Amino acid sequence: QQQVKQSPQSLIVQKGGIPIINCAYENTAFDYFPWYQQFPGKGPALLIAIRPDVSEKKEGRFTISFNKSAKQFSLHIMDSQPGDSATYFCAAAIIQGGSEKLVFGKGTKLTVNP
């Protein structure tokens, strides 16, 4: 059973565009939702994270929108650049329960064309 569903699988935008990646979760006990960026041959790197008590969080060009009632969250990348081309993963965890296990989505391969 896939606990975090991510879409789309791949995404191509032009430089300056605003790619949007969506995730949906099933377990309402999740209370921490991070996004990771992964370049080929590298491990994932934490980009931005949100807790369910806020609906939006912005850090630089990256914004998370969170809809608790719909059990969905999304990543928006403003003014995208070719250097943003990477695979992006959403994830979820139940940190209040004492577990530090992250459950990841399957990833979105983003290509930003010059």
Partner 1 sequence: DTGVSQDPRHKITKRGQNVTFRCDPISEHNRLYWYRQTLGQGPEFLTYFQNEAQLEKSRLLSDRFSAERPKGSFSTLEIQRTEQGDSAMYLCASSLGGVGYTFGSGTRLTVV
| Chain residues that interact with partner 1, rule: CB under 8 A | 4, 6, 32, 34, 41-46, 49, 89, 91, 93, 95, 99-107
The residue (of 67 and 99) whose beta carbon lies closer to partner 1 is 99
User: CB 13 → partner 1: shortest distance, Å?
Assistant: 21
User: CB 95 → partner 1: shortest distance, Å?
Assistant: 6
The residue (of 39 and 79) whose beta carbon lies closer to partner 1 is 39
Name which of 15, 21, 82 is nearest 47 in CA terms: 21
The residue (of 17 and 109) whose beta carbon lies closer to partner 1 is 109
User: CB 44 → partner 1: shortest distance, Å?
Assistant: 5
